[in-house]
Amino acid sequence: MDSVTPDEVRRIATGGETFTAEFKRGRRLKDLNDTDIVNAVVCLANGHGGVLLLGVEDSGEITGLQPRHGARTDPDRLRALILNNTEPAVVTTVEVVTVDGVDVAVVTVEPGLGPVGSKSGVFLRRSTKADGSPECVPYRVHEIISAGLSIQGRDYAETVARGLTRDHLDGGEFDRFRRLCALGKGDRGLADASDDEILRALRLVRPDSGELTLGAVLLFGTEAALNAHVPTAEVSFQEMRGGQIVADEQIRVPLLRAAERIKDLIEVRNSEQELMLGLYRVSIPRLPGGIVREALANAIVHRDYSELGPISIHLTEDHLRIASPGGFPPGITLDNVFEDSRPRSVVLADAFKRAGIVDRYGRGVPEMYRGLLRLGRSGPDYTGTNDKAVILTVPTSDSDLEMVRFIIEQEESTGTSIPLRHLRILHELKATGPAVLVELATALRTPEAPLRSEIARLTEMGLVEPRGNGRGRRYHLTAAFYRTAQASAYVRLRDTDPIQQEQMVLSYVDHFGSITRSKAAELCRLSPQQARVVLRRLVESGELELRGERRGSHYIRRRSTPAGMST
C-alpha cells in the first residue's frame, strides 16, 4: 500500500468530517485517550469504513498529535491497541504523517463484516444528522440483531419463537390463507391443506424440533402473540386532503390481514380518469390495484422486523408514500433496485406468492414501474430511501393521456408489449424534453452503452431521432410518436407568431386536458425558455393555471374561465 502524503492529509482535512472521515484533537495527551481512539474505530467499522485522523480539529484545522509513546507515536503500537481492544478484532493500517511541521496519525479502517464492538462492550455506528453532518450513535440491540442475521444469511422469519405453541395461532388466519390460495393466482394445492400442512409447506416449523418460528407469528399469530413476539409488526395509515388529516388508523394484526385491510382502505379512496379512444372508453385508476398490491407486499415482506417503528402509509391527492423500516436489504441500492431482488425474508416472500398476493417475488418493482408508465405516470420513486427506511413514492396525480394513447395504439398496431426499457426512455424524453445521452443515463440510472443500443432501436422504429453530433447530440421524440399518440392534428410551424402559438397551446389543452412545457416547445417549435414565456403569458392572462412541481408540472385551463369557454 502506498504511503499517505501530506497533501492527501490536507485534502481530507479540508473536506471536513464525512460519513467516512472522522477527526480527533490530540495536541495534548489529555485531549485523546485510548478509549476515544478505539470507539472512533468501532464507529467507522460499523459504517462503511473510512479514515480516522488523529491530530486534526473537528473544524479541519491540523494542530498535530502529541507523541503517545515516549518521544514519538509508534504506528505499530497504535495498530496493536486497536486490534487488542475491538471484538471481533479490527485490523487497521496506521501511518504517522508530518504535515506543516506537526504529526498526524492516519488510521485506515475497513468496514466490519458484522457488528463490531470494543472489548469494554461499547457498540457505536456511523450515522448522519438531519443537517447531513456525520456522527457516532449507539448501535442498538435490535440493529445489531438485524445486521447479524443479514451477515449470516439467516431469515428473521425462520428464527424460533420461544414458547410459541399452536394455541397462540389464529385459525381464522389459516382460513384466510386457504381462501387466498383458492382464488386467482394462489397455490391451489394449499387451499385444502390442514394448519400443520400449511406450516410445514411455508417452513414455519423447525423440522428437527417442531418449534414454531417468528414467521408463524407474523402470518398466523393471534394479536396477543403478535404483540408479545413481534411488537414491531404494525402499519400506520393516514390520509391527508387539503393539508388536513381525514383518516388515521393503526393496524396491529397478522400480515395477510394487514395487507387486505390496507388494500380496502385505499380502494374506497380510489378514483378514475377516462380516456376516449375512438368509440372506446378507457378507465385510468389513480391507484391501480396491481401496483398497490405490489407496493404493500414489498413493504410488508422486505421490512426489517427487528427495527422499531411501523410501516407508514400516507395518501394525498398527489401521491402514495410508503416508508418501511430497515433500509434496503444487503446488496440492494438505488442503482439496482429496478433490476435486482434480494428479499430480506424469503419465507415471507414465498408465503405472499403462494397466497397469490404477488405474482412472483423478484418482479415487484419492475412490474410497478411498467404499470405506472403504461398509465402515463412517473415511475415509482425510491430516492427518499436512507439507512433507516425504504421510502417509496407512487404518483396519484393526473395521467399523461397522450402517453396512454400512444402505448395503446402502438401495442395494438404491433401486437406486442412495449418493453419497460423503451417505456422509460420515451417517458423521460416526453416529460423533460430533448436530452443528451449522459443526461438520459443519469436520469434513468443506467449505463450509457446499453442505453445507446436501446435508443438506436427506438430510432429504427421512428419514435426517437437525434440532432447534432458527438457528445452534444440530443435525442427527442419524433412526429411519428405524436401521430401514434393522436396529436398529429396539431400543425407544428417553425415561425408562428405569438398569437398563433397561444391558440395552438389552448387548442391542445382543450383537446387533451393539459400541456407540459416540453410539449408546448415541441408543438410550436420553440426552445424550452421560449415555451416558458408563452405559457407564462397564458397564465397571466387567466387562460391557464400551473399545477404540480418540477417534472410533474403541467398547465390546465383555469377553473374560473368565463362561461362559454372550455374548462
Are 97 and 184 in a shared domain?
no
Domain membership of residue 504 (yes or no) is yes
SS (H, E, C) 250-286: EECCCHHHHHHHHHHHHHCCCCEEEEEECCEEEEEEC
Are 14 and 93 in a shared domain?
yes
Q: What's the confidence (pLDDT) of residue 328?
A: 81
Q: For residue 278, is pLDDT > 60?
A: no
Q: How confident is the model at residue 147 (pLDDT cuts 50, 70, 90)?
A: low
Domain membership of residue 113 (yes or no) is yes
Q: What's the confidence (pLDDT) of residue 492?
A: 36
Q: How confident is the model at residue 303 (pLDDT cuts 50, 70, 90)?
A: confident
Question: At 15, which CATH number?
Answer: 3.30.950.30
Q: For residue 262, is pLDDT > 50?
A: yes
Domain membership of residue 149 (yes or no) is no
Are 10 and 127 in a shared domain?
yes
Q: What is the distance between the alpha carbons of residues 31 and 24, in angstroms, rounded to a whole number?
A: 9
Are 294 and 389 in a shared domain?
yes
Are 204 and 225 in a shared domain?
yes
Q: What's the confidence (pLDDT) of residue 489?
A: 34
| Cα–Cα nearest to 127, from 252, 288, 18 | 18
Among 128-132, 279-283, 295-299, 494-498, the minimum mean pLDDT is found in: 494-498
Question: At 452, which CATH number?
Answer: 1.10.10.10
Q: Indicate the residue type of 13.
A: A
Q: Which residue has the higher pLDDT, 566 or 406?
A: 406
Q: What is the distance between the alpha carbons of residues 546 and 559, in angstroms, rounded to a whole number?
A: 11
Number of domains into which the chain is organized: 5
- Domain boundary pick from 436, 452, 484: 484
Domain membership of residue 348 (yes or no) is no
Residue 542's φ and ψ, nearest 5 degrees, are 85, 5
Q: How is residue 79 written as a grid cell?
A: 495498530
Instruction: Kindly report, residue by residue over 411-451, the tens digit of the pLDDT.
Output: 877 888 888 889 989 888 888 888 899 989 888 888 888 99
Domain membership of residue 564 (yes or no) is no
Domain membership of residue 290 (yes or no) is yes
Q: What's the confidence (pLDDT) of residue 447?
A: 87
- Domain boundary pick from 183, 214, 229: 229
Among 180-189, 451-460, 477-486, the minimum mean pLDDT is found in: 477-486
For residue 6, whether the previous peptide bond is cis, meaning omega lies within 30 degrees of 0, is no
Instruction: Kindly report, residue by residue over 500-551, the tens digit of the pLDDT.
Output: 678 778 878 887 788 988 888 877 767 777 888 889 889 988 889 998 877 7
Domain limits at 502?
Answer: 498-557
Domain membership of residue 71 (yes or no) is yes
Instruction: Kindly report, residue by residue over 159-168, the tens digit of the pLDDT.
Output: 888 889 999 9
Are 364 and 408 in a shared domain?
no
Going by C-beta distance under 8 Å and a sequence separation of 6 or more, which residues neighbour residue 517?
433, 528, 531, 532, 535, 553
Q: Which residue has the higher pLDDT, 238 or 207?
A: 238
Domain membership of residue 148 (yes or no) is no
Q: How confident is the model at residue 81 (pLDDT cuts 50, 70, 90)?
A: very high
Q: What is the distance between the alpha carbons of residues 501 and 492, in angstroms, rounded to a whole number?
A: 10
Instruction: Kindly report, residue by residue over 304-357, the tens digit of the pLDDT.
Output: 887 778 999 999 988 899 999 988 876 777 777 777 667 778 889 889 989 988
Residue 362 gets the label, from left (phi > 0), alpha (psi -120 to 50) or beta, of left
Q: Which residue has the higher pLDDT, 257 or 48?
A: 257
What pTM did the predictor assign?
0.59
